[in-house]
Amino acid sequence: MAQQARAIKTRRAILEAAATVFAERGYERTTIGEILVRAGVTKGALYFHFASKEEVALGVLDAQMLDVPLSPRAIKLQELADQCFLLTHRLQHDALVRASVGLALDTGATGVDRVGAFQAWIDEVSEILTASQARGELLVHVNVADTARLFCGAFSGVQAMSQILCEREDLAHRVSVLLQHFMPSVCTPALLTSLDLTEGRVAQLAAEYEAELLRREQNPADTHG
């Protein structure tokens, strides 16, 4: 295994171990020592990647971001929907992504910059909405800042409720319902019918995403980040 690939693997092992311990003991009570034991790595390896427990937590929070960016869509609002559908797939299949979202919502984790994590997500959605507005996709009254916050807040809650009620088994349906209620309030009617907001889209996007991840793993030279 190439050195870079090994480093990526170690980093991921540390984050997965940390995510598990944070979930079990809470962020506040977790020590670096416990993360080391769980990850099965040396102190040196951990401090090569992270300077402190808080940096590990920030790494966990970052894990909800996409490893591979979505290819640009003809309609920007479809890109927003696709981000949600892909996050749905990752929440269902990647424990680290679940831990990341859990840590962002954990009100007991007072030492972690949860504000920054939420703000980064809101900024990302704002960026998509601003581009969408520039292309004339949005209804004239839409306030991008308010809409971005609503969208991030509502998605957080919908996935938390789905987790509580059924371990996120119905999440694809819940996210589809969210998008179908949300889009008519922001999207021009002419475009609305061109959007694919059906839950079947989750499987389709997931297949493309996993294939791209695999391709990058087999061609490490293409991997950036």
Which string of b and e fits 165-174 if b means at least 16 CB within 10 Å?
A: eeebeebbeb
> Based on CB atoms, which residue is closest to a copy of itself, 14 or 101?
101
Angle between helices 171-182 and 76-93 (to 10 degrees): 160
The pattern of x and - marking residues 22 through 61 that bind a copy of itself according to CB under 8 A reads -x--x-----------------------------------
Interface with a copy of itself, residue 62, by CB under 8 A: no
The pattern of x and - marking residues 163 through 192 that bind a copy of itself according to CB under 8 A reads xxx-------xx--xx-xxx-xxx------
> Based on CB atoms, which residue is closest to a copy of itself, 62 or 222?
62
In the range 91-120, which residues lie near a copy of itself by CB under 8 A?
102, 104-108, 114-115, 118-119
Give me the half-sphere count of Cα atoms (radius 13 Å) on the Cβ side of residue 140: 0
Q: Can you spell out the DSSP letters for 22-62? A: HHHH-TTT--HHHHHHHHT--HHHHHHH-SSHHHHHHHHHH
Interface with a copy of itself, residue 162, by CB under 8 A: yes
Q: Is the dihedral of CA 5, 215, 94, 27 positive or negative?
A: positive
CB of 164 to a copy of itself, least distance (A): 5
Token digits for 107?
């009100």
CB of 47 to a copy of itself, least distance (A): 28
CB of 13 to a copy of itself, least distance (A): 23
Q: How far apart are CA 142 and CA 133, in angstroms?
A: 9
Q: What is the signed CA dihedral for 210, 212, 215, 217, rounded to 10 degrees?
A: -70
Q: Which residues bind a copy of itself (CB under 8 A)?
A: 23, 26, 102, 104-108, 114-115, 118-119, 146-147, 149-150, 152-165, 173-174, 177-178, 180-182, 184-186
